[in-house]
Structure 1
Amino acid sequence: MASERGRLEVPDLPLQTRLSEQEWVMQINDRADDSSGLPRPPSIFMTISPLRRLKHEDFVPQVVTVGPYHYGVGPHYSSLPENQETERYKAVEANEMNRHKKVAFAYVEKDIRRYNSDNHLLESVRRMVKDIRQEYATDLDFFKTEEELVEVFAEDAAFVVEILRCNGGIKRGFNTYYCSRFPRPLRKSVLQDFVLLENQIPLFLLLKVIALDSACASDKEAEKELGSLIHKVACELLPFCSLSPESVHRVIGNLSERKHLLDCLYRLVTHGGAPPNPAVSLVEKPTHFHRAVELYSSGITFRAVDPGNMVSVKYDPKKAILYVPKIRVGDDTERLFRNLIAYESHLIDEVHVLSYFRFMNSLIDGPDDVALLVEKGVLAQDIGSNEEVASMWNRLCINTMRVCSEEYEEVAQMLMQHCGYRFNALKAEFKQTYLSRPWVLVSVMSAASLLIMTLLITIYTVLIYEKPGA
């Protein structure tokens, strides 16, 4: 009796509840046994709060929304005051771009049905919905129906493809409509919205739209066409003056491994799509070296790397030359850089972008550093003053991890070691003071020659007077 009284009594559960629990346990066991049942990691995220708080408008589409995250709210929504006029503006702006999307979708669907009567874009997207959902880090349950989700992705994919084709100079039916309704400033703004982290759609969806078109008979041809269009966008939006053919080939020639448009740009400015080295470890508390003017005063010269990207920084200790990729800073540079940082913050053990920004933050501390790098051809600024450029570089690393890659830490250590020798600073000061200009060099040589001649005359005169019998 005591044992029965001390036993924990579990209330009887309904048969349906018990069966559902058993099924749930079986499903968990099946998924544990079969790793293929696990969903693949997402690639499209919302920007984390610490980065968004700094400058939230850099992550919000300004002209056109693409994908589900900003669907139904229209562009500009978070940077405008909340009032009745704002709500009216948002509705008008969203409806205008939705009309352009429907026109693009109609052109694409017409071409698909003309040459492939059995294929329809909506049906193809409907079959891909499960894969599309897995690319997003959040559930897409805010759509009323599954069909609404299909229509949004079909129209957005068609719109993006047609805009990229028009930008790449491909003459099609949509081209006339696009050129007559999108002035050049608006076209640039549309492309800039296409590479925002929260404004992405999966790249395989764009490839599917192109593959269904009559001009592409295979997936390889679709990749080739989309690759050339992405290369054109990269040349227009990336601030690096030119990209190396090797990095372009690795990224553009292997689009099946890329996630979306922003991922393509990320790979172009880092290792060109090369797989990260698992043996490379991150360096915590990276070295903060001297600013550009101080490095120059210590005898280090700067040389621009063109073509180059964010991993092109190198230092030659024998020649005391710091190689830095040539970059043009414009009004849209900070916005793109912030989205690259936000995307990299979701990647595992990849800090190429952050390492480059921490390097530039150490290098540039004020307008005199910017002026020096402009003089050496490393920087070209299009946003007004050197103070604005310096302020931009100093803001980029706020609310980010204090880490860098081993390559950048090695460069920083060599720079600090060079500046630690006092003789290097004295030698640099002499060269910059007396050997930097031809007339100064001539004056120094003349003075040295006169001093040597005076010394020789003095010695000769003394020897004559001291010579016996003189």
Structure 2
Amino acid sequence: MALNKLFNSSEQRSISEISDRQTSFGMDSIFGSSRDSEKRWWTQVSKILEKDQTNGVHPVSIFRVPKTLSAFKPDAYMPLLMGLGPYHRFRPELYEMERYKLVAATKVRSEHFPTREFQELVDTLKEKEDEIRSHYHMYLDYDGNTLLWFMTIDGLFLLEFLHTCISKKDRLSSSWSRKPNLFESEGSKFAGHSILRDVVMLENQIPIFLLGNIFDFLDIDKNELLSMVTSFCSEVSPFKLIKKDLSLSEVYKHDHLLKLLYNWIVMNVKVPKEACPINMPSEAPYPEEEILPKVDAGSQVLCSLLKLSSNLNIRLVGKITKPINMIVNLPWATAKSLPEVSRMATNLDEGLKSECDVLGEDIKNPIVEEIMIPSVSALCNAGVEFCLSNGDISSIRFDKKKKKFYLPHLKLNVNSEVIVRNLVAFEASISDFLVLGRYTELMNGIIDTAEDAKLLKKKGIIEYSLKTDAEVAQLFNGMTRSIRPSKVPHIDITIEDVNKYYFGTRKVKVYMCMKKYVYGSWQILTLIAAVLVVLLMGMQSFCSVYSCPRFFNVSNDLGK
């Protein structure tokens, strides 16, 4: 009751200002616009300028996701159940979950400081107000007391949630909580998985130092906090984390949980001195779009020629059209064993044998530009063996002698896409050296179909609890190149080595020769076909008027 009274008395003035406007950072909010907003802005700015606090302001670490990323899949960056921190805290559709936060705060208070007022905990953070604000990219149009209150409540809720991530054995011996956890009941397990999805989002992060201050007030060993955050990272990381005994001081160097997880994942990747982004990659000697057959409108003329010649029983014309029919009906059994030729042959059969109605429909024209590297299936057909590496992302490599492609272990579940996308968004906000961005481009390039995902699963490279293999392919194919590309040396070297081997194999060389000399001659063939069509139409008109079976052996039902 005391908590609810304090909460209501502290936030009553702010909540009474609710209106139907949008806040200064473009989100729907229950707060309204008033003169108090201008006064708060003036107070914050004047305090910084007069006291020269710019040198002590912490660098921004919690960014808004750029539209170039969020436009493709906004649900991956926008919390759907729980808003933490100032960005989404007061969205009306998320405010229903406030009772969970209040229950968590009440539970902590009853266990750790039952004889003290909740306001005392909030007061310990007053000196940290400016530091809290400095972590966020956007201007926070909130009263200082209101900001400290909801940040404290969110911090307590987050700590209670992180406690569920440590093992049950450690949970029993923990001094943090002795009562049953909020998310241990059957009805709350689903909510727990949904909240986990929201906790990892970039715009939902809370500064770690705030959690440490709460531990100081509660007089709890901070090793409990260390255990919570490291267990959380191990639980949610899709990538293999190298075992490392992190100290509490190392944890405090990271501004929030997402940053800690990111740095743990890429800790062994060597960052070059000059990690300059590039405009366009050039990994493959043969662009993917050139590998696929292009069937133009001239081929339809050839189709018309074949259809017309099938209705004419002319020996002279048969001698001309016979070689063309042989090309169309060429046995492709041998060629289909070559990489990518199977799909090419299918397209030709459908296009040339069925009046060209479906020409080009099955040809792959990806809306999103992919990295230029063959798929898993194509590489396996070319003799490449995929192997599980024992390390993290830094262990990606291609052994040219043994023809082995080493990839790290990747664990996927229903929340993995959200986690990876937000890690990439955070990486794009702080660095030009996009390690995870390049990794997702690599996986997007080699995984095109469900068969590719299935092959990697058999090798133990990808482990997933998704329903179908196709969902894995869709996950990576949805990882669009919506951010600037970046060169990552060890991944780029691997891509170059794989392409050199693949395009240097005999099968692919034969296929490229066929593509160059056979399909390169279609334009000449279509020109010849156009001339022949005109001649045949003239010959058909001539034979319809004059009797010429003696010269050309025309069937009697020609005119019918």
Please give the TM-score of this superposition, normalised by the length of structure 1: 0.70
Name the residue aligned to 2:202. Answer: 197
Q: Give the aligned partner of residue 146 of structure 1.
A: 144
Residue 463 (structure 2) pairs with residue 380 (structure 1): yes
- 1:309 is matched with 392
Q: Kindly indicate whether residue 415 of structure 2 is the aligned counterpart of residue 420 of structure 1.
A: no
Residue 210 of structure 2 aligns with an amino acid whose one-letter code is: L
Contact 2:165–2:235, Cα closer than 8 Å, also in 1: no
Q: Is the 8 A contact 2:104 2:182 kept in 1?
A: no
User: Cα distance, 1:365 vs. partner?
Assistant: 1.7
Taking the TM superposition and a 5 Å limit, the aligned residue runs for 1:25-424 are: 37=55, 39-74=57-92, 90=93, 94-95=95-96, 97-110=97-110, 113=113, 120-141=120-141, 143=142, 145-168=143-166, 169=168, 170-171=171-172, 172-180=177-185, 183-216=188-221, 222=222, 224-240=223-239, 242-246=240-244, 249=245, 254-271=250-267, 276-282=271-277, 284-286=279-281, 287=283, 288-306=372-390, 308-422=391-505
How far residue 131 of structure 1 moved from its aligned partner, in angstroms, is: 0.3
8 A Cα contact 2:388 2:408, kept in partner: yes
Shift of 1:341: 1.7
Shift in Å, 1:174: 5.0
Q: Distance in 1 between matches of 2:153 and 2:187?
A: 18
Cα deviations by residue, 1:86-128 (Å, 9 ceiling, x for unpaired): xxxx3xx624x22222232234345554699999320122221
Deviations 1:183-231 (A, max 9, x none): 2222222222111111111111112112322332xxxxx2x32232122
Secondary structure of 1:337's partner? Answer: helix
Tell me the CA shift for residue 424 of structure 1. 8.7
| Partner AA of 2:257 in structure 1 | L
Residue type of the alignment partner of 2:218: D
AA partner of residue 125 (structure 1):
L
Q: What whole-Å deviation, never above 9, does each CA across 1:14-42 have from its counterpart, x for those lacking one?
A: xxxxxxxxxx9xx99997xx9x6274421
Contact 1:291 1:362 in 2 (8 A): yes
Instruction: Give, in angstroms, the shift of residue 328 of structure 1.
Output: 2.7
Cα 1:166/1:108, change in 2 over 3 Å: same
The count of aligned residue pairs is: 367
Q: Secondary structure at the match of 2:429?
A: coil
Amino acid at match of 1:134: S
Deviation at 1:391, TM superposition (A): 1.9
- Structure 1 runs (4+) deviating above 6 angstroms are 27-31, 114-119
For structure 1, which segment, 165-174 or 196-205, has the greater mean C-alpha deviation from structure 2 after superposition? 165-174
Partner of 1:444: none
Distance 1:282 1:315, change over 3 A: farther
Report the CA distance between 1:425 and its aligned residue: 7.1
CA drift of 1:66 comes to 0.6
- Quote the offset at 1:56 in angstroms: 1.0
Is the 1:357–1:396 contact (alpha carbons within 8 Å) kept by the matching residues of 2?
yes
Identity over the aligned pairs, expressed in percent? Answer: 23
Structure 1 residue 374: Cα displacement: 1.9
Which residue pairs with 1:441 in the alignment?
none
Q: Does the aligned pair in 2 maintain the 1:251–1:268 contact within 8 Å?
A: no
CA distance in 2, matches of 1:29, 1:64: 38
Question: What amino acid is aligned across from residue 305 of structure 1 in structure 2?
Answer: S
Aligned counterparts of 1:250 and 1:275: Cα–Cα separation in 2:
20
> Aligned partners of 2:154, 2:186: CA distance in 1, in Å?
18
Structure-2 change in CA distance of 1:413 and 1:181 (3 Å): closer
In 1, Cα distance between equivalents of 2:273 and 2:397: 21
Cα offset for 1:69? 0.5
Unaligned runs of 5+ in 2: 1-44, 284-371, 510-560
Q: CA deviation at 1:129?
A: 0.7
